[in-house]
Amino acid sequence: MMNHTTFNFTSKDELKIFARAWISQTQDPKGLLYLVHGLGEHTGRYDDLAESLNQSGYHLLGFDLRGHGLSEGPRGHTPDYDLMLDDIDTFIEGSQEKFGFGPPKFLYGHSLGGNLVLNYGLQQRQQFTGVIATSPLLKTAFDPPKAKLFVAKFLSQIMPKLSLSSGLETQALSRDQAIVEAYENDPYVHDKVSAKLGHEMLERGKYVLEHAVEWQQPLLLMHGTADRICSTPASQEFARAAGDNVDLVLWEDNYHELHNDIEKEKVINEMIHWLDQHI
């Protein structure tokens, strides 16, 4: 039971940003999740998750990051990382004006989106009933060559818009081959990341780990132990440092997209159970 609608808002630097709302049609909705998706993808890939959340009484609202999906901007680029955090602010404000939903409100980010919501929470821009991060990009699951990191840092300063291939291993997204094929054939998915964003997202991942002890909001942190894209040990490191505010759930043998892997029903049920406990 859901009602899907789309809308647009304008970023602080005048980009047209595309957004979706999946509105629960249950008699007594429980709450609202704001979604921040991962690098190279878009909100249209979250229909199945939205349906499960809607059936359980939760609205899901999300926007295509700048340079992604149906939003404007050079593919995979941001002039400044903080502009992406500003976009979350503007999205929430616009959503409130359009729909007027009250609390409880949750912030949910996956992969790069996980990186963003953890940075957003550490800046204490807003207080939420809780935050959810799945497979957050705090470190990569592999060690990039130091020479490549040096070049990326250098290029981010002199040629910030330079577009590079993200090198994403699509087979590492999910053990469900249908998900992988759909991703590879999706016209709104891209493998681009600019020198600026590539450097900044890794630096902001380091920042999250270095400041984990400052985390204050209830957080559900979930990661697959077989994630070959984003580091599972980094999520464990964050959870240890952040302490009692964090509920860490590791999914044995699961790949990067927990909500799209073959145990997705269990993962989504865990998410809904946690939400129910915090409203």
* Per-domain residue ranges of the chain: 2-278
Which CATH architecture best describes the domain 2-278? Answer: 3-Layer(aba) Sandwich (3.40)
Q: Which residues contact 75 (CB under 8 A, 6 or more apart)?
A: 67, 68, 163, 190, 192
Q: Which residue has the higher pLDDT, 99 or 251?
A: 251
Strands (E), 81-206: 105-110, 130-134, 163-165, 192-194
With bands split at pLDDT 50, 70 and 90, how would you rate the model's confidence at 187? very high
pTM, two decimals, is 0.94
Work out the average pLDDT over 236-256: 97
Q: Give the ranges where 100-171 is alpha helix by DSSP (H).
A: 112-122, 146-158
Judge contact between 251 and 260, C-beta under 8 A.
Answer: no
201-237 pLDDT per residue, tens: 999 999 999 999 999 999 999 999 999 999 999 999 9
Describe the crossing of helices 195-210 and 81-99 by its angle, rounded to 10 degrees.
Answer: 80
Work out the average pLDDT over 160-185: 87
The one-letter amino acid code at 83 reads L
Helical (H) or strand (E) element with 49: helix 47-55
Rounded Cα–Cα distance for residues 6 and 243 (Å) = 38
Coil, helix or strand for 25?
coil
Rounded Cα–Cα distance for residues 177 and 102 (Å) = 39
